[in-house]
Protein backbone atom coordinates (compact mmCIF):
# COMPACT_ATOMS: atom_id res chain seq x y z
CA UNK A 1 0.00 0.00 0.00
CA UNK A 2 1.29 3.47 -0.87
CA UNK A 3 1.30 5.72 2.20
CA UNK A 4 1.45 9.49 2.37
CA UNK A 5 5.05 10.70 2.71
CA UNK A 6 3.72 13.38 5.06
CA UNK A 7 3.01 10.70 7.64
CA UNK A 8 5.78 8.22 6.87
CA UNK A 9 8.35 10.97 7.45
CA UNK A 10 6.99 11.75 10.92
CA UNK A 11 8.79 10.05 13.81
CA UNK A 12 7.01 7.41 15.87
CA UNK A 13 5.32 8.68 19.09
CA UNK A 14 8.23 9.12 21.54
CA UNK A 15 6.47 7.76 24.61
CA UNK A 16 5.49 4.60 22.74
CA UNK A 17 9.07 4.30 21.49
CA UNK A 18 10.75 4.45 24.89
CA UNK A 19 8.18 2.20 26.55
CA UNK A 20 9.12 -0.47 24.03
CA UNK A 21 12.58 -0.50 25.62
CA UNK A 22 11.13 -1.95 28.81
CA UNK A 23 10.64 -5.40 27.30
CA UNK A 24 14.39 -5.90 26.89
CA UNK A 25 15.72 -4.19 30.00
CA UNK A 26 17.76 -6.19 32.52
CA UNK A 27 15.95 -6.97 35.76
CA UNK A 28 18.13 -6.32 38.80
CA UNK A 29 15.36 -6.31 41.37
CA UNK A 30 14.91 -2.55 41.43
CA UNK A 31 11.48 -1.12 40.82
CA UNK A 32 11.23 1.00 37.69
CA UNK A 33 10.95 4.75 38.32
CA UNK A 34 8.78 6.14 35.53
CA UNK A 35 9.60 9.75 34.69
CA UNK A 36 8.36 9.39 31.13
CA UNK A 37 4.71 10.28 30.56
CA UNK A 38 3.16 13.15 32.51
CA UNK A 39 0.29 11.55 34.38
CA UNK A 40 -0.81 12.50 37.90
CA UNK A 41 0.01 9.58 40.19
CA UNK A 42 -3.12 10.23 42.27
CA UNK A 43 -6.72 9.25 41.55
CA UNK A 44 -9.55 11.66 40.76
CA UNK A 45 -11.37 13.11 43.77
CA UNK A 46 -13.61 10.42 45.35
CA UNK A 47 -16.61 12.72 45.23
CA UNK A 48 -16.09 13.15 41.49
CA UNK A 49 -16.03 9.43 40.75
CA UNK A 50 -19.03 8.91 43.04
CA UNK A 51 -20.93 11.61 41.13
CA UNK A 52 -20.12 9.98 37.80
CA UNK A 53 -21.19 6.56 39.04
CA UNK A 54 -24.67 7.95 39.67
CA UNK A 55 -24.90 9.18 36.08
CA UNK A 56 -23.86 6.02 34.25
CA UNK A 57 -27.31 4.40 34.37
CA UNK A 58 -28.89 7.40 32.61
CA UNK A 59 -29.39 6.39 28.93
CA UNK A 60 -28.65 9.97 27.92
CA UNK A 61 -25.01 9.51 28.97
CA UNK A 62 -24.53 7.21 25.96
CA UNK A 63 -25.84 9.75 23.43
CA UNK A 64 -24.12 12.39 21.36
CA UNK A 65 -24.01 15.92 22.66
CA UNK A 66 -23.80 19.06 20.51
CA UNK A 67 -20.46 19.18 18.70
CA UNK A 68 -19.19 22.02 20.88
CA UNK A 69 -20.37 20.40 24.12
CA UNK A 70 -23.36 20.73 26.40
CA UNK A 71 -24.45 24.32 26.96
CA UNK A 72 -24.61 23.93 30.74
CA UNK A 73 -21.05 22.59 30.82
CA UNK A 74 -19.70 25.43 28.70
CA UNK A 75 -21.64 27.85 30.89
CA UNK A 76 -19.88 26.40 33.92
CA UNK A 77 -16.56 26.77 32.08
CA UNK A 78 -17.40 30.45 31.53
CA UNK A 79 -17.75 30.85 35.29
CA UNK A 80 -14.40 29.13 35.83
CA UNK A 81 -12.73 31.52 33.37
CA UNK A 82 -14.19 34.42 35.32
CA UNK A 83 -12.47 33.13 38.47
CA UNK A 84 -9.23 32.04 36.83
CA UNK A 85 -8.66 34.82 34.29
CA UNK A 86 -11.10 37.59 35.23
CA UNK A 87 -12.61 36.93 31.81
CA UNK A 88 -16.16 37.64 30.65
CA UNK A 89 -16.56 34.83 28.13
CA UNK A 90 -19.70 33.17 26.82
CA UNK A 91 -20.34 29.48 26.15
CA UNK A 92 -19.88 30.29 22.46
CA UNK A 93 -16.17 30.90 23.14
CA UNK A 94 -15.55 27.22 23.96
CA UNK A 95 -15.42 23.89 22.17
CA UNK A 96 -14.92 20.83 24.36
CA UNK A 97 -12.50 18.40 22.72
CA UNK A 98 -10.95 14.93 22.97
CA UNK A 99 -7.97 16.11 24.95
CA UNK A 100 -5.79 19.15 24.34
CA UNK A 101 -4.18 17.42 21.35
CA UNK A 102 -7.46 17.44 19.45
CA UNK A 103 -7.97 21.09 20.39
CA UNK A 104 -4.59 21.81 18.80
CA UNK A 105 -5.62 20.03 15.59
CA UNK A 106 -8.81 22.10 15.48
CA UNK A 107 -6.83 25.30 15.93
CA UNK A 108 -4.34 24.46 13.18
CA UNK A 109 -6.83 23.26 10.57
CA UNK A 110 -8.95 26.36 11.23
CA UNK A 111 -5.97 28.70 10.84
CA UNK A 112 -3.68 27.04 8.30
CA UNK A 113 -3.45 25.28 4.99
CA UNK A 114 -0.58 23.22 3.59
CA UNK A 115 2.45 25.40 2.92
CA UNK A 116 1.72 27.87 5.73
CA UNK A 117 4.13 28.36 8.64
CA UNK A 118 3.82 28.37 12.43
CA UNK A 119 6.59 29.78 14.63
CA UNK A 120 7.12 27.29 17.47
CA UNK A 121 9.15 27.86 20.61
CA UNK A 122 11.60 25.02 21.28
CA UNK A 123 11.80 22.81 23.19
CA UNK A 124 8.31 22.01 21.98
CA UNK A 125 5.70 19.43 22.94
CA UNK A 126 6.43 16.76 20.33
CA UNK A 127 2.78 16.16 19.36
CA UNK A 128 2.61 19.70 17.98
CA UNK A 129 5.25 19.44 15.22
CA UNK A 130 4.07 15.90 14.47
CA UNK A 131 0.62 17.34 13.71
CA UNK A 132 2.08 20.22 11.69
CA UNK A 133 4.17 17.84 9.59
CA UNK A 134 1.22 15.56 8.90
CA UNK A 135 -0.84 18.55 7.76
CA UNK A 136 1.94 19.93 5.56
CA UNK A 137 2.34 23.05 7.71
CA UNK A 138 5.95 24.12 8.20
CA UNK A 139 7.18 24.56 11.75
CA UNK A 140 9.75 27.34 12.18
CA UNK A 141 11.54 26.83 15.47
CA UNK A 142 12.68 29.52 17.86
CA UNK A 143 15.83 28.10 19.50
CA UNK A 144 16.15 27.01 23.10
CA UNK A 145 18.46 29.34 25.04
CA UNK A 146 19.56 27.63 28.23
CA UNK A 147 20.60 30.92 29.84
CA UNK A 148 16.98 32.09 29.50
CA UNK A 149 15.60 28.90 31.00
CA UNK A 150 13.84 28.11 27.75
CA UNK A 151 11.47 31.07 27.96
CA UNK A 152 10.33 32.53 24.64
CA UNK A 153 11.94 35.75 23.45
CA UNK A 154 9.36 37.94 21.64
CA UNK A 155 12.04 39.66 19.54
CA UNK A 156 13.49 36.34 18.38
CA UNK A 157 10.03 35.02 17.56
CA UNK A 158 9.12 38.17 15.64
CA UNK A 159 12.30 37.86 13.57
CA UNK A 160 11.11 34.44 12.33
CA UNK A 161 7.77 35.69 11.00
CA UNK A 162 7.33 35.71 7.22
CA UNK A 163 4.44 36.34 4.87
CA UNK A 164 3.57 32.64 5.23
CA UNK A 165 3.29 32.72 9.03
CA UNK A 166 -0.18 32.08 10.38
CA UNK A 167 0.51 31.63 14.10
CA UNK A 168 2.95 31.67 17.00
CA UNK A 169 2.83 28.60 19.26
CA UNK A 170 3.93 28.64 22.90
CA UNK A 171 3.27 26.19 25.77
CA UNK A 172 3.13 27.58 29.31
CA UNK A 173 3.89 26.06 31.74
CA UNK A 174 6.23 24.44 29.26
CA UNK A 175 6.15 20.82 28.33
CA UNK A 176 9.05 19.78 28.41
CA UNK A 177 10.93 22.33 30.56
CA UNK A 178 8.28 23.21 33.13
CA UNK A 179 9.17 26.89 32.71
CA UNK A 180 6.31 29.32 33.32
CA UNK A 181 6.19 32.20 30.84
CA UNK A 182 5.62 35.47 32.73
CA UNK A 183 2.38 37.37 31.98
CA UNK A 184 4.32 40.32 30.57
CA UNK A 185 6.07 38.04 28.05
CA UNK A 186 2.75 36.49 27.03
CA UNK A 187 1.39 40.00 26.54
CA UNK A 188 4.44 40.90 24.39
CA UNK A 189 3.85 37.81 22.24
CA UNK A 190 0.21 38.81 21.83
CA UNK A 191 1.33 42.24 20.64
CA UNK A 192 3.68 40.59 18.12
CA UNK A 193 0.71 38.57 16.83
CA UNK A 194 -1.41 41.72 16.65
CA UNK A 195 1.24 43.62 14.68
CA UNK A 196 1.46 40.85 12.08
CA UNK A 197 -2.26 39.98 12.04
CA UNK A 198 -1.62 36.36 13.01
CA UNK A 199 -2.68 34.19 15.96
CA UNK A 200 -0.95 33.51 19.24
CA UNK A 201 -1.76 29.89 20.13
CA UNK A 202 -1.09 29.31 23.81
CA UNK A 203 -1.25 25.76 25.17
CA UNK A 204 -2.08 26.03 28.88
CA UNK A 205 -2.56 22.37 29.73
CA UNK A 206 -0.70 22.80 33.06
CA UNK A 207 -2.14 26.18 34.05
CA UNK A 208 -3.47 24.87 37.37
CA UNK A 209 0.05 23.92 38.48
CA UNK A 210 1.40 27.48 38.55
CA UNK A 211 2.49 27.95 42.20
CA UNK A 212 0.05 30.01 44.21
CA UNK A 213 -2.65 29.66 41.59
CA UNK A 214 -1.54 32.95 40.04
CA UNK A 215 -3.36 34.29 36.98
CA UNK A 216 -1.36 33.13 33.94
CA UNK A 217 -2.02 36.29 31.87
CA UNK A 218 -4.57 39.03 31.20
CA UNK A 219 -5.16 38.48 27.48
CA UNK A 220 -8.87 37.76 27.84
CA UNK A 221 -9.35 41.29 29.20
CA UNK A 222 -8.16 42.82 25.92
CA UNK A 223 -11.19 43.85 23.80
CA UNK A 224 -9.45 42.44 20.71
CA UNK A 225 -8.35 39.14 22.26
CA UNK A 226 -10.51 37.06 19.94
CA UNK A 227 -8.83 38.51 16.86
CA UNK A 228 -5.34 37.29 17.75
CA UNK A 229 -5.52 34.73 20.57
CA UNK A 230 -6.43 31.03 20.58
CA UNK A 231 -6.08 29.00 23.77
CA UNK A 232 -5.55 25.26 24.05
CA UNK A 233 -6.74 24.00 27.41
CA UNK A 234 -7.19 20.77 29.32
CA UNK A 235 -8.85 19.58 32.49
CA UNK A 236 -7.24 16.14 32.26
CA UNK A 237 -4.22 16.94 34.44
CA UNK A 238 -6.22 19.36 36.63
CA UNK A 239 -8.71 16.70 37.77
CA UNK A 240 -6.53 13.59 37.18
CA UNK A 241 -8.77 12.60 34.26
CA UNK A 242 -6.16 12.03 31.55
CA UNK A 243 -7.94 8.95 30.19
CA UNK A 244 -11.22 10.86 29.95
CA UNK A 245 -9.65 13.16 27.31
CA UNK A 246 -10.97 16.41 28.76
CA UNK A 247 -9.57 19.05 26.40
CA UNK A 248 -10.90 22.38 25.23
CA UNK A 249 -10.43 25.11 22.64
CA UNK A 250 -11.09 28.72 23.67
CA UNK A 251 -11.36 31.36 20.94
CA UNK A 252 -13.69 33.93 19.44
CA UNK A 253 -17.22 32.79 18.67
CA UNK A 254 -16.46 33.18 14.95
CA UNK A 255 -13.37 30.97 15.25
CA UNK A 256 -15.31 28.31 17.18
CA UNK A 257 -18.08 28.41 14.55
CA UNK A 258 -15.62 27.46 11.83
CA UNK A 259 -13.66 25.02 14.01
CA UNK A 260 -16.89 23.04 14.51
CA UNK A 261 -16.75 22.06 10.83
CA UNK A 262 -13.58 20.12 11.61
CA UNK A 263 -14.90 18.97 14.99
CA UNK A 264 -17.90 17.33 13.34
CA UNK A 265 -15.75 15.39 10.87
CA UNK A 266 -13.08 14.52 13.43
CA UNK A 267 -14.77 13.55 16.70
CA UNK A 268 -18.35 14.91 16.65
CA UNK A 269 -18.26 15.63 20.37
CA UNK A 270 -16.49 15.07 23.66
CA UNK A 271 -18.11 12.17 25.57
CA UNK A 272 -20.97 13.27 27.80
CA UNK A 273 -19.50 11.55 30.85
CA UNK A 274 -16.31 13.57 30.42
CA UNK A 275 -18.29 16.77 30.11
CA UNK A 276 -20.11 16.05 33.37
CA UNK A 277 -16.80 15.28 35.04
CA UNK A 278 -15.47 18.67 33.94
CA UNK A 279 -18.60 20.47 35.15
CA UNK A 280 -18.43 18.81 38.57
CA UNK A 281 -14.74 19.54 38.88
CA UNK A 282 -14.86 23.24 38.07
CA UNK A 283 -17.92 23.78 40.28
CA UNK A 284 -16.91 21.70 43.30
CA UNK A 285 -13.19 20.93 43.41
CA UNK A 286 -11.31 24.23 43.73
CA UNK A 287 -9.89 23.25 47.13
CA UNK A 288 -8.89 19.77 45.89
CA UNK A 289 -7.11 21.33 42.90
CA UNK A 290 -5.34 23.84 45.15
CA UNK A 291 -4.13 21.05 47.47
CA UNK A 292 -2.68 19.12 44.53
CA UNK A 293 -1.04 22.29 43.23
CA UNK A 294 0.68 22.75 46.58
CA UNK A 295 1.72 19.11 46.65
CA UNK A 296 3.23 19.39 43.17
CA UNK A 297 5.10 22.54 44.21
CA UNK A 298 6.59 20.60 47.13
CA UNK A 299 7.66 17.82 44.77
CA UNK A 300 9.28 20.37 42.48
CA UNK A 301 11.14 22.03 45.35
CA UNK A 302 12.34 18.69 46.71
CA UNK A 303 13.40 17.44 43.29
CA UNK A 304 15.27 20.65 42.57
CA UNK A 305 17.01 20.63 45.96
CA UNK A 306 18.06 16.98 45.62
CA UNK A 307 19.14 17.31 42.00
CA UNK A 308 21.28 20.37 42.61
CA UNK A 309 23.27 18.89 45.49
CA UNK A 310 27.03 19.04 44.73
CA UNK A 311 28.45 16.12 42.80
CA UNK A 312 25.58 15.49 40.37
CA UNK A 313 27.01 15.52 36.84
CA UNK A 314 23.52 15.81 35.35
CA UNK A 315 22.65 19.53 35.31
CA UNK A 316 19.22 21.05 35.82
CA UNK A 317 18.64 23.49 32.96
CA UNK A 318 15.02 24.39 33.75
CA UNK A 319 12.15 23.09 35.87
CA UNK A 320 8.63 23.80 37.07
CA UNK A 321 5.07 22.45 37.13
CA UNK A 322 5.40 18.74 36.19
CA UNK A 323 8.81 18.73 34.53
CA UNK A 324 12.57 19.04 34.78
CA UNK A 325 14.75 19.70 31.73
CA UNK A 326 18.17 18.22 32.34
CA UNK A 327 21.48 18.38 30.50
CA UNK A 328 23.20 15.00 30.58
CA UNK A 329 26.99 14.75 31.07
CA UNK A 330 27.85 12.25 28.30
CA UNK A 331 29.59 14.17 25.53
CA UNK A 332 29.03 12.71 22.08
CA UNK A 333 25.99 10.69 23.18
CA UNK A 334 22.47 11.41 22.00
CA UNK A 335 19.60 11.78 24.40
CA UNK A 336 18.24 8.45 23.15
CA UNK A 337 21.50 6.69 24.02
CA UNK A 338 21.52 8.16 27.52
CA UNK A 339 17.82 7.50 28.08
CA UNK A 340 18.34 3.88 27.03
CA UNK A 341 21.25 3.57 29.48
CA UNK A 342 19.05 4.96 32.23
CA UNK A 343 16.47 2.24 31.54
CA UNK A 344 19.03 -0.56 31.41
CA UNK A 345 21.43 0.54 34.14
CA UNK A 346 19.36 2.69 36.52
CA UNK A 347 15.77 1.45 36.05
CA UNK A 348 14.64 4.98 35.17
CA UNK A 349 12.37 5.75 32.23
CA UNK A 350 12.50 9.24 30.71
CA UNK A 351 12.43 10.96 27.33
CA UNK A 352 15.40 12.04 25.17
CA UNK A 353 15.82 15.73 24.43
CA UNK A 354 15.94 15.41 20.66
CA UNK A 355 12.24 14.50 20.45
CA UNK A 356 11.53 18.05 21.66
CA UNK A 357 13.46 19.85 18.95
CA UNK A 358 16.49 19.91 16.69
CA UNK A 359 19.88 20.18 18.37
CA UNK A 360 18.61 19.07 21.79
CA UNK A 361 20.41 15.70 21.96
CA UNK A 362 22.21 16.84 25.11
CA UNK A 363 19.03 16.96 27.20
CA UNK A 364 16.45 14.73 28.87
CA UNK A 365 12.89 15.44 30.02
CA UNK A 366 11.93 14.17 33.46
CA UNK A 367 8.28 14.17 34.51
CA UNK A 368 8.82 14.29 38.27
CA UNK A 369 5.11 14.98 38.72
CA UNK A 370 4.57 11.24 38.18
CA UNK A 371 6.23 10.13 41.40
CA UNK A 372 5.55 10.69 45.08
CA UNK A 373 7.84 12.79 47.24
CA UNK A 374 9.37 9.80 49.04
CA UNK A 375 10.58 8.36 45.69
CA UNK A 376 12.38 11.53 44.59
CA UNK A 377 15.64 11.08 46.56
CA UNK A 378 16.06 7.54 45.19
CA UNK A 379 15.41 8.74 41.63
CA UNK A 380 18.07 11.43 41.94
CA UNK A 381 20.51 8.98 43.54
CA UNK A 382 20.25 6.76 40.46
CA UNK A 383 21.18 9.66 38.18
CA UNK A 384 24.22 10.40 40.32
CA UNK A 385 25.32 6.76 40.24
CA UNK A 386 25.03 6.49 36.46
CA UNK A 387 27.32 9.48 35.95
CA UNK A 388 29.77 8.67 38.72
pLDDT of residue 29: 78
Does 3.90.1150.10 match the CATH number of domain 5-43+288-387?
Answer: yes
Give the whole-angstrom CA distance, residue 350 versus residue 133. 24
Nearest to 225, CA basis, from 246, 200, 203, 261: 200
pLDDT of residue 204: 98
Give the whole-angstrom CA distance, residue 354 versus residue 103. 25
pLDDT of residue 28: 79
Q: What is the pLDDT of residues 135-151, one digit of tens each?
A: 999 999 999 999 998 89
CATH number of 46-285: 3.40.640.10
pLDDT of residue 193: 98
| Bridge partners of residue 230, in order along the sequence | 201
Task: State the 10-residue block means of pLDDT for the chain, 388 residues long.
Answer: 89 91 83 91 96 94 96 98 95 98 98 97 96 96 93 98 98 96 98 98 97 95 97 96 96 98 96 98 98 95 94 94 94 95 94 96 93 93 89
pLDDT of residue 329: 95
pLDDT of residue 49: 97
pLDDT of residue 6: 87
Q: Alpha helices, DSSP H only, in the chain?
A: 5-8, 14-20, 46-55, 71-85, 99-111, 127-135, 154-159, 183-196, 225-228, 253-266, 272-284, 286-307, 335-346, 376-387
Q: Where are the domains of the chain?
A: 5-43+288-387, 46-285
Amino acid sequence: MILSPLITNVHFPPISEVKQWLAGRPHDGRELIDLCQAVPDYAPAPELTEHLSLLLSDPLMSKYSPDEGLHEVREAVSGYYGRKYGAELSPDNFCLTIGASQAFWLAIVTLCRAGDEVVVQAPYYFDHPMALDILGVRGVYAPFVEADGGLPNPETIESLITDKTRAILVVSPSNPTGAITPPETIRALFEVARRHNIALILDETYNEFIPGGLRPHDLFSDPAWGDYFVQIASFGKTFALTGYRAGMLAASAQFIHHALKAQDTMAVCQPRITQHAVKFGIERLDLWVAANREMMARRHDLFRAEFMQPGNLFRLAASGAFFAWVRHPFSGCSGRQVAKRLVDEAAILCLPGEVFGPGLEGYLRLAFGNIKEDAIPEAVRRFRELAA
